Amino acid sequence: MPDETKIKMSPLDEKLTGLVQHLVVRKDLIRKVKGNAIVPSYVLEYLLSQYCTVSDEAQIAAGIERVLSILKEHYVHRSEAGLIRSMIREKRRPHKVIDRVSVSLNDKNDVYEATFSNLGISKVVVPSETVKLHQKLLTGGVWCLADISYEHAEGRETPWTLEALKPIQKSSFNFDEYVEARRHFSTDEWIDVLMQSIGLNPEAFSRRKKFNQLTRLIAFCERNYNLMELGSKGTGKSHVFSELSPHGMLISGGEITVPKLFVENRRPYNLGLVGHWSCVAFDEFAGKGKRVDKALVDIMKNYMANKTFSRGVETLGAEASMVFIGNTRHSVAHMLKHADLFDELPTQYHDPAFLDRLHFYIPGWEVDIVRSELFSSGFGFVIDYFAEILKKQRDDDFSQLFAPHFKLSDDLSTRDRESINKTFSGMMKLLYPHREAAVEEIEEVLVWAIEGRKRVKDQLLRIDETFEPVTFSFTRMTTGEVVRVSTLEEQQYPAIYWPDQLRDAAPVDASETATTMPSDADVSGDAKRDELPQIRRVIRENQTGIDFDMLFGPYLKGAKEITITDTYLRKFHQARNLMEFLETIARLKSDFEDIHVHLIVSPDDIGTVYQEEYFSKIQENVGPIGMIFDWEFRNDLHARHIITDHGWEILLDRGLDVFQPYDMKDAFSPANRLQKFRQCKKFEVTFRRKDG
């Protein structure tokens, strides 16, 4: 009999736990233990990894109880700080607490003193040896397990004594084991492992959306990486930098000073945040009305360009990456029409010299608002372990792995090349730490790196007329073919992407805009059949603005019989797509005529009954509006297409399943009501005349 205590795992989870069981944790456990404890995920995962196995439900339950007990006994809630201080006093022996500890030097007494954030005690003497081992204690604080005791005596400044202190992080790891584990996974599987490791459900994300999420991690594995992400509220922009690594520091963009970020202007120099953290992220960075210290902007520009900064007569260096995240108030189309994609930044940062130092611009408007189904219940690397892996990779350079296969355009500036190289290197470290990638996989990463830098440069052309248009392209060494890269916004809004003064000079990828995306006038609903073009449309992943009325409407108008052949129409969302296609037909037809729609579809071997239930409901509901809908099941289907009785054949490489997942439960979501606000999967559709 099967062991009912064993947890059910996906094939990916079974493979991962089979290889590195001691390095992974089930990600949904974090939500079970967090409760109202305001601690980062890496702290909770550290505890879970100590007490939870991965294969037995009963042992996991016992482990969760143990972790909950530890949090209950040792995590300090601010509201209970007085009670805990009293308990330590009464016990008269050391008590273990979990708290955020920061240390400063009391130069008057020549001692280091700790402040416990939640416990509310300060001036606790810390041995110099402890500070030397854990220097981050001096720069903003670290979550620690600490033993605190109480002893009041005359002449002592504080009765609190630090008996022991241990930052919550792994003490060692085997990088070779990580690399060897990568070799057992395909690229698609490994990307999903990374997504689950940062707590996200890979099944809810398209390839491009996964790349957007993983690009955030480059700041941890690539030295001096400058990244910006502006987008909608609630998309989890700050989560990675506050929760997923003990080597990252998230600060409010308006709460930083030059000494805190870089160095105090006095001897001996005490390095600020950039000297002790892998990544410094500025939250809520956008906001035109924010006041910004010009001296901070100037020193930041020098640091982002040269990895150095000057205080007094000395020049100092550091390797922290800089990340800037903020919200946008307007749509992409509005920003392109009236300003630029950096329009939300404070005036002092809306500066070409500052923006030109950015290596990549994540299009935050493509990132989904966080909802429950986006979180993973599968297994991933323990975050603290994964964070150490990323930190170790900062010593490596993968930037030239594309050189044997591709050559960047000579048109690119030095900063353009550096930006592309650093993004490429970071993504390759994440996806191919074993340095083994097929040529097409290397090209995919290179195109991604180029697009992110092009997004920056194209906006600089709008802001500063002294910048000249650049062709962002590369050459395939084996064939000599030149490949031009465009941003998704450039394809989606070709009429407004380039300002009038730049339109003639701007490089245009004809294969992505003019040929594959004819103007609306070319396919207007008023056009006669013989006037409609025979075309192939290529829709990019995450593209919006597409709906069935615009896409199919002109080619369906006037048809009396329509046959749809679609291999897979099995799930609810696919049946809904079919219904929305019929709604397009309903909007085109006259109230005084009937239209016959015939569906040819493959049966679902497991859930055919659900298919027939969906189709029966559709048939029942469209009948009264003059639409005769029927269907037949066939097992020999391969192609997907739509045939009309008035001469058009529409070839569909994905069938009608062209939209990415969206929240169908939210009745107030525009994407739920209007197709044009949904993000698309990558697909192609070809319109051709049957007699042409």
Share of the chain above pLDDT 70, in %: 92
Lowest mean pLDDT, pick from 147-156, 450-459, 682-691: 147-156
Whether the per-residue pLDDT at 642 is higher than 70: the answer is yes
Q: Taking the C-alpha atoms of 200, 205, 210 and 214 in order, what is their torsion angle to the nearest 10 degrees?
A: -20
Provide mean pLDDT across the span 185-191.
98
Q: Place 566 in a pLDDT band, splitting at 50, 70 and 90.
A: very high
**pLDDT given for residue 518 in this prediction:** 39
**pLDDT given for residue 72 in this prediction:** 86
Q: Which of 29-43, 124-138, 218-232 has the highest mean pLDDT?
A: 218-232
**pLDDT given for residue 524 in this prediction:** 47
**pLDDT given for residue 171 in this prediction:** 61
**pLDDT given for residue 45 in this prediction:** 87
Provide mean pLDDT across the span 398-414.
96
- For 59, residues 6+ apart whose C-beta sits below 8 A from its C-beta are 52, 53
Q: Are strands 24-26 and 379-381 parallel, antiparallel or unpaired?
A: antiparallel
Whether the per-residue pLDDT at 467 is higher than 70: the answer is yes
Q: Is 247 helix (H, G, I), strand (E, B) or coil?
A: coil
Is the distance from CB of 126 to CB of 137 less than 8 angstroms?
A: yes
Whether the per-residue pLDDT at 3 is higher than 80: the answer is no
Q: Place 504 in a pLDDT band, splitting at 50, 70 and 90.
A: low
Q: What does CATH list as the number for 520-689? A: 3.30.870.30
Burial of residue 636 (CB within 10 Å: 0-12, 13-18, 19+) is: exposed
Provide mean pLDDT across the span 369-380.
90
Q: Place 41 in a pLDDT band, splitting at 50, 70 and 90.
A: confident
Domain ranges in the chain are: 11-74, 78-167, 182-383, 397-503, 520-689
Task: Name which residue leads in pLDDT, 139 or 438.
Answer: 438
Provide mean pLDDT across the span 641-646.
96
CA distances from 461 to 148, 341, 365 (A): 58, 11, 21
Whether the per-residue pLDDT at 160 is higher than 60: the answer is yes
Q: Place 9 in a pLDDT band, splitting at 50, 70 and 90.
A: confident
DSSP conformational letter for 450: H
**pLDDT given for residue 517 in this prediction:** 34
**pLDDT given for residue 15 in this prediction:** 95
CA distance 297 to 208: 32
Q: Is 26 helix (H, G, I), strand (E, B) or coil?
A: strand
Share of the chain above pLDDT 90, in %: 63
**Does 520-689 match 182-383 at the fold level?**
no
Q: What is the pLDDT of residues 103-138, one digit of tens each?
A: 999 988 899 999 999 999 999 999 999 998 888 888
Whether the per-residue pLDDT at 509 is higher than 90: the answer is no
Whether the per-residue pLDDT at 283 is higher than 70: the answer is yes
Q: Place 692 in a pLDDT band, splitting at 50, 70 and 90.
A: low
- The domain 182-383 belongs to what CATH superfamily? P-loop containing nucleotide triphosphate hydrolases (3.40.50.300)
Q: Which of 143-157, 304-318, 479-493 has the highest mean pLDDT?
A: 479-493
- The C-alpha angle with vertex 664 and arms to 663 and 665, in degrees rounded to 5, equals 90
**pLDDT given for residue 530 in this prediction:** 62
Provide mean pLDDT across the span 292-297.
90
Determine the distance from the C-alpha atom of residue 68 to the mean position of all C-alpha atoms in its chain, rounded to a whole number. Answer: 30
Q: Place 272 in a pLDDT band, splitting at 50, 70 and 90.
A: confident
Provide mean pLDDT across the span 90-95.
89
**pLDDT given for residue 564 in this prediction:** 96
Pick the CATH number of 78-167 from 1.10.3470, 2.30.29, 1.10.287, 2.40.50: 2.40.50
- For 34, residues 6+ apart whose C-beta sits below 8 A from its C-beta are 41, 44
Q: Place 370 in a pLDDT band, splitting at 50, 70 and 90.
A: confident
Provide mean pLDDT across the span 56-85.
88
**pLDDT given for residue 507 in this prediction:** 55
Q: Place 156 in a pLDDT band, splitting at 50, 70 and 90.
A: confident
Which phi and psi angles does 382 have, rounded to 5°?
A: -55, 125
Q: What is the mean pLDDT of the chain?
A: 89
Lowest mean pLDDT, pick from 179-193, 261-275, 369-383: 261-275
Whether the per-residue pLDDT at 321 is higher than 80: the answer is yes
